Amino acid sequence: MTNSSVASSICSIVPPYLLARLAAAEDPAKATAAKSARRALTGIDGVESARSAPHSAPSRGSGTAFTPSLRRTISDALGLEELPGTVVRSEGQPDTGDPAVDETYAGLGATYRLFSDAYGRSSLDGAGRALEATVHYGRAYDNAFWDGSRMVLGDGDGEVFERFSKSLTVIGHELTHGIIQYTAQLDYRDQAGALNESIADVFGVLVEQKLLGQTADQASWLVGEGLFTDLVQGQALRSLKAPGTAYDDDVLGKDPQPGSMADFVKTAADNGGVHINSGIPNRAFYLVAEALGGYAWERAGQVWYDTITERNFPADATFAVFAAATLTAAEKRYGAGTEESTAVQAAWKEVNVLV
C-alpha cells in the first residue's frame, strides 16, 4: 500500500471479526443485530462510492505552525448510506436536542482541544482544517469510521450496539486516523496497520482522560466503553490496560487481542490483523503511562505524538521500528537514561517487541 492510499482507507472502529461473530448469531433476541452486522460487513466496500468529494493524499506536517481555529460541521445522513448528508449544526450553533448530533459536536471539540492544548496542533492538519462528521448513517448501522475526509457514525442496532456517538473514545479514535493521515501516513495493513489502529486507540482514550481530568491510574483505558447494551457481557471493544479482556460474550466470543508478541496473530483477514494485533502496542503505551504516572497525555502522549510527527517516518513501519522511534523520541525530548526513556524501553521489552 502506498502513502497515497492512506487517504482513501476506511478505518472502522468495530473489527470485522466481531461483526462476523454477530452476523452469524442465531439468538432471536439479537436478530436485528445479526442483520445489521451482515449489512455492516458487506457495506464497508460500498462506502467508497458514497464518499464525499475526492481528495488527494495530504502532505506530512508536524503542526508546529499553530493556527487556532476550531470549525465543526455535523451532517445528518437521515438513515441513508450516502455522504455527506444534510448539515444540521455548524460551529457556534446551540445544541439541537438530537443526542447523536450534540455528542458528536462535543466530541470533535474535545479531540481538537487535546491536540491543541497538549501538543500545540491546530486540527488534523496542523493548520485549522475543518472537522466534519456525519451521524445517523444507515439504518441500525453497526459501526463508525473515518473515510479519509470525515468521521461517520452509525446509530447501532439497539440489541448489541448503542449509538456510536455515546463513546467519546470512538470519536477521538476516528479523528486520530485523520491526524495519522497528515503525519505518519501509516499503511493500513499488517503491523503498520495495527500501529495505525493502536495510535488511534491511544489518543482516543487520551481525549477522554483529558476531558475528565483523569490520571493514568484513574482511567479505565477502555475504547468504546458504553457501546454495548445490557444484553452483552463486556465493557468495551478494546482494553489498552489488559488486551483480550474487553468482552467475553456467548454471541460475540472472547476479545481476541494479544498483549505481547508471544501471542501475535498471523492472519490475512482484517488487512493482516490490524484490529487484533493493535493490542500489543496498546499495552506498551499503557505500561509507559503507568510507569510515569500523572496525566498520560503529557509525557507518554508527548512521546507518541513526537514519534508520529517525525518527518519521513516509514509508512510501512513494523512494531520494532516504531518502538525504536518512540525510544529515540523520548531521548530527544527528555534525555537518555531519564525516567521517560527508561519507561519506554521497559514497556516495549515487556511486550516482547524489543529485546
Q: Above 70 in pLDDT, residue 39?
A: yes
CATH class as words, domain 3-182: alpha beta
Q: Above 50 in pLDDT, residue 57?
A: no
pLDDT tens digit sequence for 263-287:
999 999 999 999 999 999 999 999 9
Q: Show the cell assigned to 188.
A: 493500513
| Mean pLDDT (whole number) for 330-342 | 98
The pTM for the full model equals 0.92
Is domain 190-350 in CATH 1.10.390.10, yes or no? yes
Q: Above 70 in pLDDT, residue 8?
A: no
pLDDT tens digit sequence for 308-318:
999 999 999 99
Q: Pick the catalytic residue from 162, 197, 275, 340.
A: 275
Please report which confidence band the pLDDT of residue 44 belongs to, taking 50, 70 and 90 as the band edges: low
Q: Where are the alpha helices (DSSP H) in the chain?
A: 3-6, 16-23, 31-43, 47-50, 99-119, 168-182, 190-212, 269-273, 279-292, 299-308, 319-334, 339-350
Given this model, what pLDDT does residue 48 score?
A: 37
- For this structure, is 162 an active site residue? no
pLDDT tens digit sequence for 156-194:
999 999 999 999 999 999 999 999 999 999 999 999 999
Compute the distance between CA of residue 248 and CA of residue 260 in angstroms, rounded to an integer. 19
Given this model, what pLDDT does residue 260 score?
A: 98
Which amino acid, residue 27? Answer: D
Q: How far is CA 266 from CA 172, 278, 317, 320, in A?
A: 28, 13, 17, 16
Domain 3-182 shares a fold with domain 190-350: no
Q: In the chain, pLDDT over 70 holds for what percent of residues?
A: 90
Q: Pick the catalytic residue from 132, 162, 174, 340.
A: 174
Given this model, what pLDDT does residue 4 score?
A: 33
Burial class (CB in 10 A: 0-12, 13-18, 19+), 312: exposed
Given this model, what pLDDT does residue 5 score?
A: 36
Domain boundaries, the chain: 3-182, 190-350
Of 16-30, 64-78, 321-335, highest mean pLDDT? 321-335
Given this model, what pLDDT does residue 207 score?
A: 98
Average predicted confidence (pLDDT) for the chain = 91
Q: CB of 278 within 8 A of CB of 256?
A: no
Please report which confidence band the pLDDT of residue 27 belongs to, taking 50, 70 and 90 as the band edges: confident
Please report which confidence band the pLDDT of residue 46 belongs to, taking 50, 70 and 90 as the band edges: very low
* Best CA proximity match to 6, nearest among 143, 285, 196: 196
Q: CB of 13 within 8 A of CB of 169?
A: no
- For this structure, is 331 an active site residue? no
Please report which confidence band the pLDDT of residue 43 belongs to, taking 50, 70 and 90 as the band edges: low
